[in-house]
């Protein structure tokens, strides 16, 4: 029997651990899943809920979950009354939302043997909300399982983290993202046939996130990211080759809005990170460059000290911008520091 948890890409160790918990009938009363947006946290939680309720669980020849039985279908179609999802209200998950959970926890499941509570953006819970949840996590009914999904588990109270095992989703390999897109998306298939370099760019931009890759298949969504990435690639080329005229022209032409400029500078750092690691191992997984041979050639065309110096200068500019400094002055200083 497959223990893969259907439709979850990557994260093999996590999938096996959760499946083994279910098959051994030793599910934890709570799990904390931590990882970047789009890394599959909700999918994992929903597949776990389906696996826990699957009518073919443990039967040879069926994957776990089978995704065919009535219980699986209702859960994966978001129709089960026993799988409850809480999302943040505005900027945070509030105490009132957690109190609603507390009131419903004492009510036995309607259809299944378990009730699954999925709290999205759990790190945004106010301290009051986390303390309220702690009361339930300490002595939950035996039929309750919590999934706290977060991007930064360090923002959770230590008392909350001590009540549940923490699992971190892993960046998904580029080849797995590509295979998933080509299997699931007609738009990805068209892109692969008509503009394969654009598909390569999408996979690179997604930075190991299936969810982000799916979003970027839409042309309107990906255009700003492609433009930022292209600007970042030129930035690195001009800066490392000491083409000060083109670099100055490029930096002056960059968007003068913080929420557009900082992502471009972050892409610059991602590209520089690739060049650094390529100097140590040519087989490493790349986060920015899709053309490995070209990236290797670029990495060996300049010294590591120069790459790191540029990385730090960009980091200084980002830190300055994050403090709402004057945009024009910050870019002028960045140009001066690179050209010095």
Instruction: Choose among 2, 39, 41: nearest CA to 19.
Output: 2
- If one counts every other C-beta atom within 10 angstroms of the C-beta of residue 99, the result is 15
- If one counts every other C-beta atom within 10 angstroms of the C-beta of residue 83, the result is 25
Q: Where are the domains of the chain?
A: 12-168, 173-217, 224-339
Distance, CA of 30 to CA of 44 (rounded, Å): 14
The structure tokens listed for 214 are 């799916």
Q: What is the pTM of this model?
A: 0.70
The DSSP letter of residue 123 is G
**Is there a common fold for 12-168 and 224-339?**
no
Contacts by residues 257-265 (CB-CB < 8 Å, ≥ 24 positions apart): 257/327, 258/321, 258/322, 258/324, 258/327, 260/224, 260/228, 261/321, 261/327, 262/318, 262/321, 262/322, 263/225, 263/228, 264/228, 264/231, 264/232, 264/235, 265/232, 265/314, 265/317, 265/318, 265/321
Q: Are 5 and 41 in contact (CB under 8 A)?
A: no
Q: What is the pLDDT of residue 3?
A: 41
Q: What is the pLDDT of residue 174?
A: 83
Q: What is the pLDDT of residue 7?
A: 63
Q: What is the pLDDT of residue 2?
A: 41
Q: What is the pLDDT of residue 306?
A: 93
CATH 3.40.640.10 for the 12-168 domain, yes or no: no
CATH topology of domain 224-339: Zinc Finger, Delta Prime; domain 3 (1.20.272)
Mapped onto helix, strand or coil, the DSSP state of residue 144 is strand
Cβ-Cβ contacts under 8 Å for 201 (sequence gap 6 or more): 226, 229, 290
Mean pLDDT per 10-residue interval, the chain, length 340 residues: 58 85 90 87 93 89 87 94 95 94 93 95 94 91 95 92 91 85 88 86 80 83 83 94 91 83 90 92 82 91 94 92 84 87
């Amino acid at each position: 029997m497959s223990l893969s948890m259907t439709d979850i890409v990557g994260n093999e160790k996590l999938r096996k651990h959760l499946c083994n918990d279910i098959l051994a009938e030793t599910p934890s009363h709570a799990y904390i899943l931590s990882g970047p947006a789009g890394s599959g946290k909700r999918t994992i939680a929903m597949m776990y809920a389906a696996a826990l309720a699957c009518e073919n669980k443990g039967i040879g020849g069926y994957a776990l979950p089978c995704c065919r039985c009535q219980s699986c279908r209702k859960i994966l179609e978001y129709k089960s009354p026993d799988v409850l999802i809480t999302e943040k209200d505005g900027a945070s998950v509030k105490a009132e939302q957690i109190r609603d959970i507390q009131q419903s926890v004492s009510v036995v499941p309607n259809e299944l043997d378990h009730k699954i509570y999925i709290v999205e953006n759990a790190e945004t819970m106010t301290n009051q909300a986390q303390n309220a949840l702690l009361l339930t996590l300490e002595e939950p009914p035996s039929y309750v399982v919590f999934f706290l999904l977060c991007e930064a588990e360090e923002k959770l109270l230590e008392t909350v983290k001590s009540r549940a095992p923490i699992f971190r989703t892993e960046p998904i390999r580029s080849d797995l993202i590509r295979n998933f897109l080509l299997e699931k998306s007609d738009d990805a298939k068209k892109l692969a046939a008509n503009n394969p370099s654009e598909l390569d760019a999408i996979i690179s931009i997604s930075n190991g996130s299936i969810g982000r890759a799916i979003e970027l298949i839409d042309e309107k969504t990906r255009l700003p990211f492609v433009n930022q990435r292209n600007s970042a690639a030129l930035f690195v080329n001009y800066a490392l080759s000491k083409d000060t005229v083109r670099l100055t022209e490029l930096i002056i032409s960059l968007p003068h809005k913080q929420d557009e400029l900082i992502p471009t500078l972050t892409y610059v750092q991602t590209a520089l990170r690739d060049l650094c690691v390529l100097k140590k191992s040519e087989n490493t997984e790349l986060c920015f460059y899709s053309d490995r041979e070209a990236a290797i050639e670029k990495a060996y065309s300049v010294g590591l000290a120069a790459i790191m110096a540029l990385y730090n200068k960009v980091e200084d500019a980002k830190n300055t911008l994050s403090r709402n400094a004057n945009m024009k002055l910050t870019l002028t200083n960045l140009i001066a520091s690179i050209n010095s």
